[in-house]
Structures are given as C-alpha cells and as structure tokens.
Structure 1
Amino acid sequence: MRTVHIVFPVFRGARKFKIEKGRRWSVIEHLVLQALARRPRSARELSEAAGGLPRRVIIEAITRLMRAGWVELQSSGSTVIFDATNAGKVRSVDYELPSAVTLIDKWRSFRIDAHTGAAFRVGDLTTSHWHNLPQTNDEQIVHLIDKPTIDSENLSEIFNAIEGQDELIVGVHPSTTRLSKTWGTVAYRHGVAEGIPSRAPKAFVDFIEREYEKVRQDEISLPEPSRPAIASEPKTKADNSYLFDHSDLILDGHQHEDAFTKLIKNADTRILVHSGFVTDNVNAVLPKLLAAAGRSVRIDLFYGQDEKEGARTSSEETIEHIKKKIAGTGLREMFRIHPFSTESHSKIAIADDRQTGSWTALVGSCNWLASGFTSFDASVRLRDPRLVGQLICTLGRMAKGRIGVWNDAHVAGLFVLGRSVERMPPKNGRKAEIDLLFTGDHAPLVMEAARKAKERVFVLSHQFGIAGRPVTIFPLMDVASSTGIDVLAFYGKPAGKKTAAELLDLREQYGKAGLKLRSVERPRLHAKVLGWDQDDIAISSFNWLSVDPNDQKPLREIGIRIKSGRVAEQFLRDFERAQW
C-alpha cells in the first residue's frame, strides 16, 4: 500500500502582538468577596450560604481573592476564618471586579493554509522547504497543490489560532514584513491522515480530503480516507502509564551525585543539562563533562537564573568562567552553552546510555551545575522514552529565550531529537501513573491533595514565605481543620526577613488549625515535594511553601507526579531517616 503525501502551499509570518494575559473574575468569586465584606466567615459557612456549593469551589475562589490581596486569613481557635481586606471591601461594591490582567507584547509566529485561509500555530502543521519535499516513487505518491487562492492574512483567524489560555489579543504592532511561502504536508497511510491538526477547521479538513479523493480516483488500490478527529480526544487511563520503580526515586545529596556522575559517565552521544543556577560548584562536575566530550559526546548546558537589567547574574559570570576553561581543552566544539537565560527554575539532566541504548532523565530539585551535593534533594529518574522525549522537546521550548528571539537550528534540533526519542519502544518493567507537571499544574495539585487525602498530606519546600500561603498553606490548613487528617509541612529556611519569634507565632497559629510546620536544618532541606496518603507524590522544582506560580511562565517550574503503590509512604519514611 503506497503512502500519499498531500503537499500544499502555506504562508508563514510573525507579528508582535499586544496581549492581555490573565484570568477574568467569575461571578462566584465576586459573590464570595461581597459575603466576606459584610462579615468574616469560614469556608463551611460560605458553602452553606451558597446553597451547598462544593467547598473546593469556595476554596479556589478564596485562593484567587487572597492572591489579589482582597481577602485575608484569620484564626479563631481551631477554625479558619476569612475576612475581606480594606481593599477588598472597596472592590466588593464594584459592578464588575477589575480583571487581574497584564498587558504584554509578544512576537507570535503563525502558518496560514493558502487555500482556505485557516490559521495555525507554528507546530500544528508539518512544513518544509521546496527542496526537502518528498518525491513520488514506488512506495509513495506526492500530490502537489500549487497556485494559492489567498495572498494575505486574516487577523481574526490568526487571533483565534494563537491566543493561549487566559489570553486576549488587543492589537498588533505595525509591521512592513510580508508573508513568506513554504509547503505543508499531510501523509495518508492506509487511508489514515497524519499531520492534520486535531482542532483544524472543518474547511481545512474537507479541503485535504477532497485532494486525497482526487488521487484515489486515479489509484484504485488506495483505501477510503479515515476522517481525523476535529476535536482532541480526552486522555485515557493508559496514556500516563510509564516505566517506574521505587528505586527511581533519588534522595539526599550522595544519591544525586552518584546519579549525575553515572549519567555523564555512561553517556553515548548527548548530554543535556538545565540548572536553575550555575555556581563555582560546577568546577567539580566540569572534568567529568570534559571526559565525556573527549568521547565525542555533545553537551548542551542551559541555565535559568533571571537576567538583570544592565548587569550580569552570578550564573552568567560562572558561565564565562566555564567557557574559558573549555576553550583551552580543544573540546569547545562539543559544548553548546545556551547564550541566555531560559528564565526557568527547573532542574533537568538527560543523556543516552552507551551500554543499554536507552535514554534517562533526572528531574527534581537538584541544581546540577550549582549543587555541592550536601543538601537533601529529591529527584525522579525517568526511563520511559516517551517521557524523556517530551522533556527534550520541553527544553526546545525553553530555549527560545528572549521575546522574539529564536535560535532556529538549535531549537529545531532539540525537537527532532525529542520526537525521535519519544518514538523509541519502551523496555519491559514495572509501570506507574506518571504526569509531567508544569508551572500551572502545581496549585491545582495542592487542591487535589486537599480534596482526596484520607490520612495525611505532607509537603517539603526549600523556603517558607508569605507567597505560599494562598497556594499551599491555606488549602492544607482548611483540610486539616475540617477533616482532622495529619498535615505536615517541612521547610529549609524562611523566605524574606522573619524573626524567630514571628516564625514561632506562625507555627503556633498553623498548629491550632491542624497544620504542623517544622524547619529542617540538618541536612539542609532543598527538596520540593508534595505527597498524600500512601500512593501519591509530586517531586518538582517548585517551592510549594514560598512561591505563587506565575501563569505567564508556563515552563518556569517542572516536576513529576507519580501514583504508585506506597510510593508516598516510602518517601516519607526515607526522609525521616535522613534527618540528623
């Protein structure tokens, strides 16, 4: 059965858009604020006053209002009470709450089908240059469609295609840049289309099917087309079943040093490392990386420390030091040090193994290019190629750098590599339910833990600060006071300037509501973990007790959520044993 390639002209372009980013307030959130402006209430009272509205809905509404500074937390014995702040009382009488949106300027690229005018995001269509198009031979047929019927973009179509979640495009900066022409490809194998975006407009799907039908009329042996889904299919339970064993949990500094050393030593062709920071501790790792480069292993280093206006960050200064060391070894061509910050706090190390031919990724809290491997960190070893491939593609997304600046060759190479790894067959072994976590997934996961926990919830965070209260502290305090389950919160150090007396007061206040807050100094706690009951755990780069996740930076935090028999129970036992 021959493959049929439908090749059609595509216009590509990029514009700088004015975007309002942020979620609008709901009617429920407005009503909750008005109720609290009249008098302080508990979540239970608000739920009853709303006619039995589920408590989780009330909690989510209060969480957003606390982030805006319109609601504050009070403690009355063992009961958690909420009250509107002065600013909240002023806003409560408004006809409509002012949207918490930020106006940002963003370059966005797009593709336009030159026949229907349908607009797509960059990655939705498979495109290539003329000289890279497939050619008709004994195994495949190429049906080329030329002569575009449109010659300019439809802004309404483009806005609909490239607006992200909680985004509204409100304008476009003037530009004299014209659209350029490239070619899109949809392949039909056994009558099944590959390359039609899941949310493609019906007009585009019909256009592609008509063109395939023309080829079928000439080639009697070709099967009828199998119509692709117009809307994306929901995930099935099997979609997140990946290789995992309890030994894939990496805890404390010694295990992290061993795992990173093994990753580098066994690397066959590639090593990719993303570290939130780079410090002088990298000098202990550099000889190992140089040894790998000496075996012709290509090494990509990324860092995420936010750049400063008019000044170098400490990571940038250390990176310059690394470049000078590498320059004198004759191995400079084997290193690619990303030229600017990814602005991501994530910690990722990836490599292929020359002994097994498989790929491994380490994801968690350890800054691979900054750690002295003396703190208690927590990471997960990922061995399933589907997950490792997704992470490599994620690094490609992170590598775009500053607004409007893309290193096309390098970024494209990461995506090609990621897709290649993702298609590798996984090995046999135990499996668990695993999900990648990105910035916006962390706050909802706390809500899930608070909603589903039956016995206990525990959280580990490098820092403890006020920004973590509406995200993590409040939902866990609420579940502790309302259900009586154990809630344990561990932190390494306070964020900001807090006296010992202030910390003691907070500990007593939270303790009355059922949340046990505890500082851990030996070993120095750097892990970021959320777990509940026996089988659910999330290991991440996200400081659960000190950070409010920034939805405008979806790749700033990356973690792993695991559901496996007794994995949370085992982790907590190992953590307690590690404390001096």
Structure 2
Amino acid sequence: MTGPIPVTKLPAQGSIIRFPEGEPPETHYSMMQRVNEFMVGMLRPGEWLRGVQESSSFLERKFLVLDLEEVGAGVFPQGASDQLVDALKATIKTGVLPKTTAPTPERPLTIETRFDAAHLVVGAEQHLERFEQIVGAAKSNIFVLSTFVASQSDEKGRERRERIVRALEDACKRGVRCHLFFGTSLDRAKHAAAMQELYLRLSAARQTRGYLLVQRDPVESHAKFLVADNGHDGAVVLMGSCNWLHSPFSAVEVSAELSDPKAVAEGLDRLRQIVSKLSSASRSVEALQFMASELRRQRNMLSPPEEAQAPTATLTILHAADHERLLRAAAHEARQRFICCTNKVGANMVPALFDPAEVAGRRLGDVRIYYSRRTGPVKRGHVTKHRERLHGIVDLTGVPEPQLHAKFLAWDADHVVVSSLNWGSQSGLEDNPLDEIGLYLEGPNLATALLEMFDAELV
C-alpha cells in the first residue's frame, strides 16, 4: 500500500497518469480503472491492485448555499470559477436566477472483444447444461448471483433445479470456493432462509469452512451472474435473465457468455461493485478483484497471433438508466427490424416500450414485442387495446407457453442487448445504476442468430 505523493516530490522512476480533457467527470471507479490499466504491465505473478484510496477520489454531490447580499457586496465562495462569478453577478444585476442544467449522463464503457453467436445461450435446458459445464470446469472460484432463491422444499422444477445443486456440491467436494448471493430485498427473510437451507445442503458435502461463502443479506440488484475460473488461466462470465438458484428451468432464458479476458475482467468488476456493499462479502470482493487483475496482467503479458487477437464485436456494458436511452436510439436508428422480448408488461409499458416500438414500426416492416406476463395494474384488456391500436405497425405477441423469462433487444442484423431488465415493466434509475446490467453487443449477424435460436424455442 502506498500513500499520496506530491507531484513536486515524484521520484525519478515515478510516472504520472494523465486524464484526457473533454471526457465525463471522473468517478472513484473510473480513477481506479485508469490506475489499474497503467499498472497492469508492471505487476508480477500473484500481485494485484487491491484498491485506490477512496478519500482521494470520492465525488459527492452537495448543495451550496449562497447569500445574495454578500454576493452583491462582492463576497464570493472561495475557489469559485469565473463562470459561477459571472452568473452570480448577472443574477444581482437582473434579479433572474442562473439557469441550471442536468449533469451529462456518464457514457457506458465500450470495448472491442471476441464474441460470436456461439456465446449466446438461449433456452432453459441450454442454461442448465452450460451451468453444469462451467461449474464442473472450475478449480478455484465460482460466483452465483440470483435475484431469488428457491426453498429446498419447493417442488416446482425440483428435478431440474437439483442439477444446479449437485453441480455446486461436486464443486465443494473438489475444494472450489463457492460464493453465493441473492439480489432481491422483497421477502428478504424468505430468501435468506432459503439460502441457509442451501448452505446446509452444500456444507454436508464436505468440510466447507472457508470454501462455502453464502450471503444471507440481499445485494439489492436485479442482475444475474454466473462467474467461474475456467480451470486454466482464464475465467467465464455468464450474464442475462436466468435466476440460477430459483428458476424451475421451464421458461425461455437468454444470456451472453463472456470469455475474452478484457471483457471478463469488466464483468468481474461489475459483480464486485454489486456485492461490495455487503461487509460480510469482503473475501468475495478480494477474490473478484484478484481474478480481474490477473486477467488484465496476463492479457498484457501474452502476445498471441494477430488473428487470435482480432476483435469480432464491440461490447458496451449498460447500467440501469442506459437501457432506456439505448432502446429509444435503436428505435430511431434501426433500418431493417426492431424486436424486443420482455418477461412482463406493466404500468410503464407505453412510454417505456410501446411508444419507441411504434416509432420504429412506422418506418420498418418487422417490429415485434414478445411478452408472457402482465403485472401491476395492467389487465388483459389494456394490452388488447394497444394491440389493436398498433395493428399493422407493431406485432404485440403474448406467449403463455413456454413462458418467456428472456429480456433482450435486437435490431437489424448485428445489434443485440442481453439484459436483466424487464423492458416493458421496469425503468432503470440513475441513482441505482447497478440494479440492472445489460450487455450491448454489435457483431456480424448476432441479432440474426439470436432471433433464429429464439424462434426455435417457441416452436
């Protein structure tokens, strides 16, 4: 650990990390990422960047109280910018308060990565099989974040869910550390009790002290993660719609699997941010940080052939409020088709989803919305009226069986968003960015492939 060093006393071997002008305001996370990228080539095996001193980088919004009588007398806040001084002088002169503007939303992170249609997981059985394969290959760490946790006495989907538990039991027997989390704060006691039941079941597999890290408090995020090392020098992140510890695995699910080191490291960072609010999860947070640092270090040290390095797609990691902005942009920019799948439609379905789809439908011949459930005040008749209103513009299709638990957006041939967000019933909030996580992937024929796999599940 090192403390802050004044620039004037920087040693000869020291370096300065410069921050480009014109970029969004720095956050604690963005500062840590800059330092991490700078240091990654200097780290030796087993070394990793544990953190950045938060007191030096924490940004907090506060109100500034100004006494206009003092301002009129020429007394301004210490360190006030020329722009603020001019605005206050104008207020004194005209009596009109300065105009305020909302802060510019932070741009989501975009990286180039290797990703193709084989990394899209579509269907209930496909998710079960991939869980067994990923967990079965792990040698050191497995992380599971599920919004809900099923009781061991829950008979719905019991046989299929038993495959999830057996895979985790086998991992425990191999000495793999299993980090288990749940997201919802609704029915907290119910899900905490279910997590305790799962802990007792898994701890019976072997002496699990130090290997089974089960959290009984919610992380308060709707995101769903499966993360594990791949048994070699890499790791895998699977993100999407599947509640791994609760699902009966009878509904259509869609997830995206990240295996490229740079993309995986970013996925690990998001999961670390989500679970770090739990003080009892410190060991899990450190393990995630270590895995991400190792992936970045190895990627920087290794030089595989150029054809193996060539990115095949761009990946943008979406936080909660990013979803609505991207959906509306896609509705205006799509040139061939615009398709959205949501588990539920609810009170905000018209402004959140139907209106943007209508914008796309007045230009395009293939605009579809799929859903399975209604929630909140929305009744069958409400949806029927909108279906009739949008006839010939948007194909609004309710699918009762198989139930659609998938949440995705696809447009044209190359654009796909795989997410945890129910597009037709939820809105992402700026003040809770990690409540929902989405992966926006742009690559050759990704949308075409996803829709083909999705259509096959509906037959």
Normalised by the length of structure 2, the TM-score is 0.72
**How do 1:251-266 residues align onto structure 2 when only pairs under 5 Å count?**
251-266=122-137
> How many Å apart are 1:393 and its aligned residue?
1.9
RMSD: 3.2
Figure out how many residues of one structure are paired with residues of the other and give that number: 364
Among candidates 211, 219, 225, match of residue 348 of structure 1: 225
Aligned-partner residue type, residue 399 of structure 1: V
Consecutive unaligned residues of structure 2, counting only runs of 5 or more, are 7-25, 34-54, 66-105, 152-157
Aligned-partner residue type, residue 417 of structure 1: M
In the alignment, the residues of structure 1 paired with residue 348 and residue 399 of structure 2 have an alpha-carbon distance, to the nearest angstrom, of 20
In the alignment, the residues of structure 2 paired with residue 488 and residue 407 of structure 1 have an alpha-carbon distance, to the nearest angstrom, of 42
Question: What's the counterpart of residue 247 of structure 1?
Answer: 118
Question: What's the counterpart of residue 366 of structure 2?
Answer: 486
In the alignment, the residues of structure 2 paired with residue 548 and residue 125 of structure 1 have an alpha-carbon distance, to the nearest angstrom, of 29
Among candidates 443, 450, 453, match of residue 571 of structure 1: 450
Deviates more, 1:389-398 or 1:457-466: 389-398
Contact 1:386 1:424 in 2 (8 A): no
In the alignment, the residues of structure 2 paired with residue 545 and residue 120 of structure 1 have an alpha-carbon distance, to the nearest angstrom, of 31
Aligned-partner residue type, residue 490 of structure 1: Y
Question: What's the counterpart of residue 369 of structure 1?
Answer: 245
In the alignment, the residues of structure 2 paired with residue 435 and residue 279 of structure 1 have an alpha-carbon distance, to the nearest angstrom, of 32
> How many Å apart are 1:510 and its aligned residue?
2.6
> How many Å apart are 1:242 and its aligned residue?
0.6
SS across alignment from 2:270? helix
In the alignment, the residues of structure 2 paired with residue 249 and residue 410 of structure 1 have an alpha-carbon distance, to the nearest angstrom, of 27
Do residues 506 (structure 1) and 386 (structure 2) align? yes
Question: What's the counterpart of residue 287 of structure 1?
Answer: 166
Change (3 A) 1:407 1:368: closer
> How many Å apart are 1:414 and its aligned residue?
2.5
In the alignment, the residues of structure 2 paired with residue 511 and residue 259 of structure 1 have an alpha-carbon distance, to the nearest angstrom, of 39
Question: What's the counterpart of residue 441 of structure 2?
Answer: 562
Question: What's the counterpart of residue 141 of structure 2?
Answer: 270
Do residues 331 (structure 1) and 227 (structure 2) align? no
SS across alignment from 1:571? helix
In the alignment, the residues of structure 1 paired with residue 428 and residue 282 of structure 2 have an alpha-carbon distance, to the nearest angstrom, of 29
Deviates more, 1:430-439 or 1:383-392: 430-439
Change (3 A) 1:447 1:372: same
SS across alignment from 1:525? coil
Question: What's the counterpart of residue 99 of structure 1?
Answer: none
**How do 1:183-198 residues align onto structure 2 when only pairs under 5 Å count?**
none
> How many Å apart are 1:410 and its aligned residue?
4.1
In the alignment, the residues of structure 2 paired with residue 470 and residue 406 of structure 1 have an alpha-carbon distance, to the nearest angstrom, of 40
Do residues 470 (structure 1) and 351 (structure 2) align? yes
SS across alignment from 2:295? helix
Question: What's the counterpart of residue 134 of structure 1?
Answer: none
> How many Å apart are 1:509 and its aligned residue?
1.7
In the alignment, the residues of structure 1 paired with residue 269 and residue 261 of structure 2 have an alpha-carbon distance, to the nearest angstrom, of 12
> How many Å apart are 1:397 and its aligned residue?
1.2
Deviations 1:377-405 (Å, cap 9, x if unpaired)? 10111111111112222222112336xx5
In the alignment, the residues of structure 2 paired with residue 577 and residue 307 of structure 1 have an alpha-carbon distance, to the nearest angstrom, of 34
Question: What's the counterpart of residue 223 of structure 1?
Answer: none
Deviations 1:208-253 (Å, cap 9, x if unpaired)? xxxxxxxxxxxxxxxxxxxxxxxxxx99x9x622111211110011
Among candidates 541, 544, 559, match of residue 420 of structure 2: 541
SS across alignment from 1:260? helix
**Structure with larger Rg:** 1
Contact 1:340 1:401 in 2 (8 A): no
SS across alignment from 1:442? helix
In the alignment, the residues of structure 2 paired with residue 123 and residue 486 of structure 1 have an alpha-carbon distance, to the nearest angstrom, of 39
In the alignment, the residues of structure 1 paired with residue 416 and residue 277 of structure 2 have an alpha-carbon distance, to the nearest angstrom, of 31
In the alignment, the residues of structure 1 paired with residue 337 and residue 4 of structure 2 have an alpha-carbon distance, to the nearest angstrom, of 57
Aligned-partner residue type, residue 173 of structure 2: G
**How do 1:416-495 residues align onto structure 2 when only pairs under 5 Å count?**
416-425=290-299, 428=308, 431-481=312-362, 483-495=363-375
Question: What's the counterpart of residue 398 of structure 2?
Answer: 519
> How many Å apart are 1:307 and its aligned residue?
4.5
Normalised by the length of structure 1, the TM-score is 0.58
Consecutive unaligned residues of structure 1, counting only runs of 5 or more, are 11-118, 127-157, 172-233
In the alignment, the residues of structure 1 paired with residue 214 and residue 131 of structure 2 have an alpha-carbon distance, to the nearest angstrom, of 18
Contact 1:290 1:331 in 2 (8 A): no
Contact 1:386 1:423 in 2 (8 A): no
**How do 1:143-222 residues align onto structure 2 when only pairs under 5 Å count?**
161-163=58-60, 167-169=61-63
Q: Per chain length, whose mean CA-contact separation is higher, i.e. which structure has more relative contact order (CA < 8 Å, sep 6+)?
A: 2
Among candidates 274, 281, 285, match of residue 411 of structure 1: 285
